[in-house]
Structure 1
Amino acid sequence: MGNNVNKGFIPALKYKCLTKYFDLFLSVLMREYKIKNELIKYAGINNNEKILDFGCGTGTLLLMLKSYYPNNEINGVDIDKDVLTLANDKLFSKGLSIPLSIYDGENLPYESNYFDKILSSLVIHHIYPEDKLRIFNENRRILKPGGNIFILDFAKPKDFYSKIIVSILKRFEPIDDNIEGNIPDLLRKAGFTNISENFYFRTLFGGLTIYRASKLI
C-alpha cells in the first residue's frame, strides 16, 4: 500500500504532510458544512440515540452533531492517529468531550448491536476495494437491529464535468467503487437492506451522494 498509507485507508489528502490542511480544503472546495448539514438532516436523528461518526477525521461532523443533539451519546472513530489528534484539539477548544477511538483496520472497538445510527462523511472512497466489504460488515455488526447507516461520499458521475474530474481523481484515490456505482452492491453483500441513494451534490471535485442502508436483524 505504500509507506504513506495506513492499513485499509489513505490518509486525508493522501499525504501525511497535508493532513493539517484538510479542514481548509473541505470548507473552501467541498461546501463542507452545507453537505454535512444535509447528511445530518437526512439521518433523522432522534433524541437519546447512540450515534457513531465512522471515519470522524478532524471532528467537524462530531461538533455539528453535538451542537444539534447535546443529549445524545456521540462517538467518533478513525484509523488515522494524526487526524484524531486534530479532532481532539478541536473538541477541547469548544469545551466538548466526545469519546474518540482508534480503529485498527480489522475490528471496530464497540460491542455488537450498540449504535442506533452510523454516519460517515467522505471516508469510504479512501478505503481500498478489498477492505470495503469487511468494513461494511463491521459497521453492520455494531448497529442495533433496525439501525441505519448513512454514507456521504462520491457518486457515479452524472455530467461531463464530473466524469472529467473523477478520471483525474481516481489516479490519487481508490474511488472506482464509487464512480462505478458499486457501493450499494457492497452494502447488500454485507447484509444491509433497504439500500437507497439519495440527493446529488455537485462540487468542484465531482458529484456526491448519500447512501442509506438498514440492518433489519
Structure 2
Amino acid sequence: MAGVRALHERAVELAGIQPGQTVVDVGCGTGNLSFAVLAAQPSARVTGLDPDRDALHRAAHKARRRSLALTLVQGYADRIPAEDASLDHVVSSLALHHVDDDGRIAFARDALRALRPGGTVTIVDFGGPASNVEDVGHPTHRHGHSPVHALRHLTRLMRSRVAHSPVVTRNHGNGIVTLLTDAGFRDAREVAHTDHRFGRVTFVQATHTP
C-alpha cells in the first residue's frame, strides 16, 4: 500500500522509542514497522508477532539481508510474547482491524499486562468517523474517462470499501480509544491522524499508569 512507510515512520516518532528499549510489534507481517523501529533505534530489542508463517519467513529473510537483529514469533495478538511488566513499547500498524472482537479485547488487556509502568502502546489503523470518507456513487458514463479520472474513481471506491468494511467499522469514532480505556489504560487518546488515499488513518496511544 502506497504511503505505508510514512505511517510507520510517524508511528515510531510518536512512540518515542529510546535506545535499548524492548518493543513488540503486534501483527508485524513482513516486518516493515519493526524495521522502521530499528532504523530509528538500532539498539532497540524488537520482537515481531504474527500468525502468518509465510509473512514471518519473508520478515526473517529481509532482516538477514539487512543484517538486523529481529526476533520473530508466530502467534496471535491476544498472547504477546513477553513476561509481565517487561516491555517498554507495544506497537501495531494496520493489523488491529483484522482481529475479531474477542481478540481485540484480549490484545488490549495483554498489552497492559506486558507493559512496564510507564510503557506505551501505539496503534496505527484505519479509524475515525465514517463521514470523513467519501461515498462512491455509480457513474452515469462508462466511456471517455481519462486514466487520471479512472484512478481517482478507483481510489474513492477503495476508500468507501475500507470505511464500510465490517472489520473497520469497529474502529470508527473512538473505537480504539474505547478499547484501550476499557482494558484499563487511563490516558488512551488519538495523538494524530492522516487522510490516507484509502481512508482515514488514526494514531492512538496509551500509557500503562498503575
TM-score range, shorter chain: 0.7 to 0.9
5+ unaligned residues in a row in structure 1: which ranges? 1-25
5+ unaligned residues in a row in structure 2: which ranges? 137-155
Could you tell me the percent identity over the aligned residues?
Answer: 26
Paired residues of 1:36 and 1:121 also in contact (CA < 8 A): yes
> Does residue 1:200 correspond to 2:157, yes or no?
no
Paired residues of 1:162 and 1:205 also in contact (CA < 8 A): no
Instruction: Give 3-state SS (helix, strand or coil) of 1:169's partner.
Output: helix
> Does residue 1:113 correspond to 2:85, yes or no?
yes
Q: Closer, same or farther in 2 for the Cα pair 1:162/1:121, shift >3 Å?
A: farther
Residue 159 of structure 1: CA displacement? 2.5
> Does residue 1:89 correspond to 2:61, yes or no?
yes
Which structure has the greater CA radius of gyration? 2
Letter in 2 for 1:134: A
Structure 2 counterpart of 1:216: 209
What's the RMSD between the two structures over aligned residues?
2.1
Structure 1 counterpart of 2:96: 124
Match of 1:159 among 115, 118, 132: 132
Q: Closer, same or farther in 2 for the Cα pair 1:142/1:128, shift >3 Å?
A: same
Letter in 1 for 2:204: Y
Residue 81 of structure 1: CA displacement? 1.3
Moved more, 177-186 or 135-144: 177-186
Match of 2:71 among 99, 102, 106: 99
Paired residues of 2:124 and 2:203 also in contact (CA < 8 A): yes
Q: Closer, same or farther in 2 for the Cα pair 1:105/1:146, shift >3 Å?
A: closer
Provide Cα deviations, 1:120-165, integer angstroms capped at 9, x if missing partner.
1111111112321111111111110111100011121353427975
- Give matches, 1:1-217, under 5 Å: 26=1, 28=2, 31-104=3-76, 106-157=78-129, 159-161=132-134, 167-169=160-162, 174-217=167-210
Q: Distance in 1 between matches of 2:91 and 2:66?
A: 21
Letter in 1 for 2:206: A
Q: Closer, same or farther in 2 for the Cα pair 1:148/1:104, shift >3 Å?
A: closer
Q: Give the count of matched residue pairs.
A: 189
Paired residues of 2:127 and 2:168 also in contact (CA < 8 A): no
Paired residues of 2:92 and 2:122 also in contact (CA < 8 A): yes
Instruction: Give 3-state SS (helix, strand or coil) of 1:161's partner.
Output: coil
Q: Distance in 1 between matches of 2:105 and 2:135?
A: 26
Residue 97 of structure 1: CA displacement? 2.7
TM-score by length of 1: 0.79
Letter in 2 for 1:100: L
Q: Closer, same or farther in 2 for the Cα pair 1:66/1:160, shift >3 Å?
A: closer
Provide Cα deviations, 1:98-120, integer angstroms capped at 9, x if missing partner.
11111146422221111111111
TM-score by length of 2: 0.82
Instruction: Give 3-state SS (helix, strand or coil) of 1:194's partner.
Output: coil
